[in-house]
Structure 1
């Protein structure tokens, strides 16, 4: 929890969990950084981090016996700000596409530190996300494949209006690390490589799987690929199947295929490429609309965009 106020004070307060941190500008420490104004009065910008304090009474009880030069009025100001901050911090339940796990591993702590809100993220494939959105369980915001929003029942559980596209990524092929790489630079070459492979790992029941099925259809190999498919429930298991030698090719999103144990062969040819797009919208029933909007806005910031790019995806 972070609280900031402009107050006139000079003190050092120790609490049960250690010193209260105070800050003026960017300087932080266990005591107030002081600045005199034109009349010689002491001013300070005070930042307090004290997560375990639940009430102003507890704050005064915790700190009161060990304060120096701090008036009760100032304690009231700081404690009041603490309660105000606690009231505005939210815990958001987020529905997210499983292929963005690596992105969220970096973005979650950054957003939590910046905003004070906490994220509880449910990862799933498109069918799982549709099921979760329509299950009646509360959630606050979704960053999901656009195919989730194409389902009328699921869409009704998100706020009306336009969604916000956050990231996109194309399809690719990978082999076990060190294995020979097939030629896939043209549609005919990709078709030949797929027909030659003994087995392929993917997630047919997912936004990615639907896109791959469209490619199979365009190549005229839908029936031939059915016997080769080794369907997996999660992106991590697609990677593991090929890395362990249980399937010859991995067909999935490029950002997922750049994983230890695999060598990326390359993206699908441009003529066949199908981007999977992840889009965001608040839940229709969220009680944390402001915090949900703050998360969506954060995902469009330069900091978040940098993370998205670093994980092999493109923003927007």
Structure 2
């Protein structure tokens, strides 16, 4: 570990001479990993990070595409892969700057102390949803899949009307912890950090929607070289342990 840190420091010496504030926009699923890795990179390089949080898509003013559309500045955007691809198509993110970061799966949470449902099979998971007084899911990639596809796959779309709702902006597990929602679903990395919510597990793999997280450099970035080095670090083998520790999976081939 000491040898790796020494090599990292030596490799980044040129960057130390050109330290800058790197402006980052990041969305939910990769945020926990970024909040650990970002400060390590900043300390090693002498750069500073200014971070804005927001979903990868949707109508919320905080959503990354909406921030960029308003002219907010960013050197790095970290978001759902297909939403990043759309920004590249629109000419808002530099072609060729895309870096693959991690895959994210959907999990389930209930309030601490509540009965823990069985979600080990499709049948058990379906029963857990039907037995819940209320079900919540995010307004980002996982929630769109849940609302538009998952409930239909299970054949329970009609049964859940009035009991299942999309939760804009707020962490789903936070609503679970407060008792506003009995059973919450969101990407695992977004469920794990929330106190007061118990992580039950991932939904069955046969029902999963795997979300790829990726990052890129917006057109007009003021510090593209520092941005590129940050992305290289976030995607490096040395960052993988931290990424997995926050509930994300390595990038699938």
Q: TM-score, with normalisation over the residues of structure 2?
A: 0.83
- Contact 1:93–1:120 at 8 Å: present in 2 too? yes
Q: Superposed, which structure 2 residues align to 1:145-156 within 5 Å?
A: 145-151=80-86, 155-156=90-91
Give the greater-gyration-radius structure (CA). 1
Instruction: Mark the CA change 1:140 to 1:226 in structure 2 (over 3 Å): closer, same or farther.
Output: farther
Is 1:245 equivalent to 2:179 in the alignment?
A: yes
Match of 1:144 among 79, 97, 113: 79
Task: Count residues in correspondence.
Answer: 233
Higher strand share: 1
* Runs of at least 5 residues in structure 1 that lack an aligned partner in the other structure: 1-25, 27-80
Runs of 4+ deviating beyond 4 Å: 152-155
* Distance across 2 between alignment mates of 1:166 and 1:103: 10
Displacement after TM superposition at 1:149 (Å): 2.1
Contact 1:89 1:116 in 2 (8 A): yes
Distance 1:130 1:201 in 2: 24
Residue number in structure 2 paired with 1:113: 43
Question: Secondary structure in 2 aligned to 1:102?
Answer: helix
Hey, what does 2:3 align to over in structure 1? none
Contact 2:16 2:47 in 1 (8 A): no
CA RMSD of aligned residues (A): 2.4
Structure 1 range deviating more: 289-298 or 305-314: 305-314
Q: Which runs of 5+ in 2 are unaligned?
A: 1-5, 7-12, 58-62
Number of the residue aligned with 2:227: 292
Match of 2:120 among 166, 185, 188: 185
CA–CA separation in structure 1 for the residues paired with 2:175 and 2:211: 22
Local SS of the residue matching 1:271: helix
Per-residue deviation at 1:225? Answer: 2.9
Q: Which residue of 1 aligns with 2:190?
A: 256
Deviation at 1:155, TM superposition (A): 4.5
TM-score after normalising by structure 1: 0.67
